[in-house]
Amino acid sequence: MALLNEIFLKPVGKVIEARQNKIKSDIEAGKAARLKAQDSISQYEQHLHEVRTKAQGLINEASEKANYHRNLEVSRLREEGRRKMEAVQAEIASERSRLLDQLVGEESQLVQEIGRRVVGEDIAIPLDTDKVRRALEEAS
């Protein structure tokens, strides 16, 4: 029995004990690796959060700058449009005044022609050009 114990049981016990120690060691190494992986994941998630926050900040800043520049451009275009509109309105008013003056002159000639044909000779018909102009302005 002692011989059997020395030859078979002790070596088998040592192998079993070595195997149990290796299993415990592997379990401890696995736990340590899992803790290390969880720490790495946590660091990665924190870094990812920081990067996303920074990216969102850059996006917000770019949006604000784009809105600012868009508003500047819109204001510039509105001002340019207003100036062009005023210039066109002034040109239209000038053209209208010129045409009214021309119509007053033509009407004065027409009255003189009608008077000459009715009377048969050239006569001076006094015509108030301001009243004629006002009448033409009201008619338009």
CB 133 within 8 A of CB 100: yes
Tell me: the pLDDT tens digits for 104-138? 888 888 888 888 888 887 777 777 888 888 888 88
Alpha-carbon dihedral angle through residues 59, 65, 68, 72, given to the nearest 10 degrees: -140
The pLDDT value given to residue 131: 84
| Tokens standing for residue 107 | 């009407």
Q: Residue 127: CB partners within 8 Å, gap ≥ 6?
A: 107, 108, 111
User: Which range of residues forms the domain containing residue 64?
Assistant: 2-139
pLDDT score of 140 more than 90: no
Tell me: the pLDDT tens digits for 6-41? 777 788 888 899 999 999 999 999 999 999 999 999
Tally of domains within the chain: 1
